[in-house]
A and B are shown apart, each in its own frame.
Chain A
Amino acid sequence: AQSVTQPDIHITVSEGASLELRCNYSYGATPYLFWYVQSPGQGLQLLLKYFSGDTLVQGIKGFEAEFKRSQSSFNLRKPSVHWSDAAEYFCAAHQGYSSASKIIFGSGTRLSIRP
């Protein structure tokens, strides 16, 4: 079965430090991958997505992610985090090939920022 795994439940980094959130996927075909951020009281916001092409994807808010097929990974990175980046981050993948295709989510990583 297709799945998305986020091995880190909670990560704390200092403000201004770099960040990498891990995501591994289990997928037979070319995956369509996403990173979402969920802040308290707000809906999920799409940070970036990978469908094909360049394996380094740039997103909003200074985030980027790199698709590595050999490692089945799609890790999210940011060179310098801000206190406002504290939130829950979800890696996700498209499942299915029709109009009824759906997004399945990883378990999420909670990011805390140390002042």
Chain B
Amino acid sequence: GEEVAQTPKHLVRGEGQKAKLYCAPIKGHSYVFWYQQVLKNEFKFLISFQNENVFDETGMPKERFSAKCLPNSPCSLEIQATKLEDSAVYFCASSQSPYGYTFGSGTRLTVV
């Protein structure tokens, strides 16, 4: 399709529960990016993939966060043992090298 599809749109988790977010990039786009937007509006880069390989993971928290992009499956971002500060909107973007990001509509994660 011609849009980056993120699911679910909203996710509520209790502290300590696992959260898993999904992103289907635009067909033919080989790069996938995850960003975290917290209430103060800043976009924090988390991780990027080139196909199923991690391209840059310098923004990923060392603990509790993991991500995958497997062939023929949506990409996923998983947070183990969520904390209150993980509450944010998580955006996925895809691109076809060398530039031209398309962003998904985001998943709003609320940890209570």
Say whether A and B bind each other. no
Q: What is A's interface to B at a CB cutoff of 8 Å?
A: none
